[in-house]
Amino acid sequence: MIDVIPINIMAKSTNKKAAPKKSAAKKTLLKKTAKKALPKKWSKKVNETSDAMDLEKDIFKSKDPKKIAESVKHSAEKSKRKKAEPFQSAMSMINFYENRGGKNISAAQKKVLNKSKNELRKLFGREEE
């Protein structure tokens, strides 16, 4: 005689095996949620705690590229705590701000920042040919 297993019993036994997968998925979801609670922007911490250069407040919001370049150059030359040469430190600071701002910086302000890089090259005598 052949044993016949009712379909309902099979469904229950299949569900029991699937239960651990749900809890594993739940754990993964909890881990992902916990990661989201961490600070997203490492650059914020760098900006707040770095002591490489003391910059004029809101200088990168200026609409004048020459003013930005002169201010960053002054800060780079004045600072004794930087590791690189003044030109590299100043250029890195402009790039850092531009990258940190990402999508929040308007196209017009990006143009100003790019022009300020060119002004900075001129101030340091490093014009591109």
φ, ψ of residue 68 in degrees (nearest 5):
-65, -50
* Cα distance between residue 94 and residue 107, in whole Å: 15
3-class secondary structure, 15: helix
What is the pLDDT averaged over residues 82-108? 87
pLDDT of 7 reads 59
* Cα distance between residue 72 and residue 90, in whole Å: 6
Amino acid present at 35: K
pLDDT of 103 reads 80
pLDDT of 48 reads 66
pLDDT of 119 reads 95
Amino acid present at 64: D
pTM summary value: 0.60
Amino acid present at 91: M
Amino acid present at 103: K
Rg (CA), the chain: 28
CB contact set of 45 (below 8 Å; sequence gap of 6+): 39
Least confident of 1-10, 48-57, 104-113, 119-128: 1-10
Residue 104 vs residue 122, higher pLDDT: 122
* Cα distance between residue 12 and residue 90, in whole Å: 67
Query: Where residue 72 falls among pLDDT bands split at 50, 70, 90?
Result: very high
- Taking the CB of residue 84, how many other CB atoms lie within 10 A of it? 12
* Cα distance between residue 97 and residue 71, in whole Å: 14
pLDDT of 44 strictly over 70: no
